[in-house]
Amino acid sequence: MTAVETTVHGDGHGHATNTGVSNEKVAMWAFLGSECLLFGALISTYLLYRGKSVSGPTEPADLFDIPFTSVSSFVLLMSSLTMVLALAAIQRRDEPRLRLWLLATALLGATFIAGQIYEFTAFVNEGLTISTNVFGSSFFVLTGFHGVHVTLGIVMLLSLWGLSARGKLPPEKSETVEIAGLYWHFVDVVWIVIFTVIYLVP
Amino acid sequence: MATSSDIAHDQEHDAAHDHPSDGRYVRIALVLAVLTAIEVWLSYAGLSSKLTTATLLIFAAVKFAIVAMYFMHLKFDNKVLRRLFVTGLALAIFCYVAYLSTMQVFP
């Protein structure tokens, strides 16, 4: 007979699951697994249409500012560090540090988005829009979708910060921070792939 | 008999005990930063296109794995979660590599 393990949710209510892991955490990992397919489709579409445009800016190398995007990538990478430090803080019951690291993560995410807006504006000024050619369409849809994910992550982080500031995110609810962190780290690993495949690979 | 809040506290304690320390997280982030710097250097190094592509993809895979294992705690968490994520990831890689190969995207 299979043992049914007890998982305790953040609200302190015991809840039996077959896996011993809370349903919320399993759901987030299942969602992230499905997101691999979404971003895989967008990256594949970009690769399929790369070099196939016949009008407007067609060569990524002519447009991409690698040093600038490298700094943006570094900023997003470091936001993963501050996110994991936020989780470690709430697990230590250190709520002031939790709020500090949550705010730092949101600010780093906002910096990345500001960089993306600057980059998009520069591309539009160079004549590449979402409707210019298939290169523009696939590039803006891919990086735009990622940007929307980052923006949603920032909203989640600021919501957690607000809850903590009002005393509604006690250490017993650390799993809420962990689940938001999983989403944030996933957004980071997707960018690791996008940065390499779209910007760096010749 | 242990109450649910006792169990919650024990689980938090265990989780915090298994996970890396703050110092180790900082060292992992430094490794990621160095790998990114090497990637950028490689893209300017003027190596052959195939060698550059292969090396960059390996670096990206290593960075992906480090973040997933240490920052997302897949190395320490229940194996069910790892299987769930790896299934989606493997399915995506298989489907899209097959698709792009069919469309003759790879030289």
The ipTM, to two decimals, is: 0.89
pLDDT confidence bin for B2, thresholds 50/70/90: very low
User: Is the model's pLDDT at A41 over the cut of 80?
Assistant: yes
- Shortest CA distance to A180 belongs to which of A106, A92, A107? A106
CA dihedral sign of residues A178, A180, A185, A186: positive
Judged against a pLDDT cut of 60, whether residue A14 lies above it is answered with no
How many CB atoms are closer than 10 A to CB B106? 9
Alpha-carbon Rg for chain B, nearest whole angstrom, is: 20
CB–CB contact B71 A174 (8 Å): no
> Does the pLDDT of residue A162 top 90, yes or no?
yes
Which positions in chain B touch A74 (Cβ < 8 Å)?
Answer: 33, 36
The answer to whether the Cβ–Cβ distance between B12 and A202 falls below 8 Å is: no
Asked if pLDDT for residue A144 goes beyond 90, the answer is: yes
Between B33, B68, B88, which is nearest A189 by CB?
B68
Q: What's the CA angle centered on B17, arms B15 and B21, to 5 degrees? A: 110
pLDDT at B7 over 60: no
Residues of A with Cβ-Cβ distance to B16 under 8 angstroms: 88, 91-92
Residues B59, B34, A182, A143, CA torsion sign: negative
Whether B96 has its CB under 8 Å from any CB of chain A: the answer is: yes
- Taking the model in full, what pTM does it have? 0.89
Q: Which residue of A has its CA nearest to B55?
A: A201
Confidence at A171, pLDDT banded by 50, 70, 90? very high
pLDDT-derived band at B83 (thresholds 50, 70, 90) equals very high
Q: Which tokens is A20 given?
A: 């011993």
Amino acid A77: pLDDT: 96
B63 and A78 within 8 Å at the Cβ level: the answer is no
Contact A196, B59 (CB under 8 A): yes
Residues A73-124: tens digit of each pLDDT: 999 999 999 999 999 999 999 999 999 999 999 999 999 999 999 999 999 9
| Average pLDDT of the residues of chain A | 91
Mean pLDDT, to the nearest integer, of B82-101? Answer: 94
Q: B9-44, pLDDT tens digit by residue?
A: 444 444 445 678 899 999 999 999 999 999 999 999
What value does the mean pLDDT take over residues A13-34? 84
